[in-house]
Structure 1
Amino acid sequence: MSEFNDYLMGKKIDPDAFLQADAAQYRALEAVFLQVSPESFTQQKLFLINPLRRTHPLPPEKMPAKTATPKKSAKPTVPKPKPTLATKSGDSSSPKPTISMEGQATATKPTITKTGKPTMVKPDSNPNKSE
């Protein structure tokens, strides 16, 4: 019986006023409530719950205290590294700045050596060029 009363109070319906006003309907709804889950009961009897809430409102002093739900903490945002602009050294006539990639891995590209075998080399070095 207390489960049904708690359910009614959660739906803002005064169980005592409802029982005094219409005991037959109270007992019928209580019997159904005890056989099904609260979610299923709400789905089945939603069209009855809203009028009951209007005719038997729960007084504010009887309303159950709301439990504070903890807010989800936001993930800390990490700023993306910004590329630094640097001009090419030794070329003062170049109007376009180049992006410095210091501290980052340099890309390699496949090249074919004199032996005909493809190898991966850094763009700065040239295996075909002998010094």
Structure 2
Amino acid sequence: MHVPDEFLLDLRRLLRSDGMLDDVEVARRRWRVSRIDDKSIFGDDARRLANAFRSQRSCSFYVARVCDLLASAPVTAYRFDATEGDVERFQGPSYYDTNLDDCLLFNIPVSCVVFRPGVVDTTIFAGDAGFIREIDV
């Protein structure tokens, strides 16, 4: 799906020009942050993330590459159901073009995001208290 302009602008506000999450914007939204020291989101982590998206009344989530979000061209994002299976599925071989790059997982309207790095590094979850509570269970 093509990300509608109003949501694209909202997502871009959350990213610095270097592609990292903007801590100032996250704080402005009064969001909380949680981190895991890995890029992989499988098993319990996938279940918790699916529950966290559902806590935002989102039956689905979207994944887009950060470099695409920062470019001026229209952005295509993949849509997935907010289930453990789909959280794991986007990390599989069918989506290597996305999951080998830094990517952002988000809902529409945007009430939370997940910055997932393309290399093995820290995954950052940002959202309201309810979203983070599901991540940190």
Structure 1 length-normalised TM: 0.23
Higher normalized strand content (fraction of residues) = 2
Higher relative contact order (CA 8 A, sep 6+): 2
Structure 2 length-normalised TM: 0.22
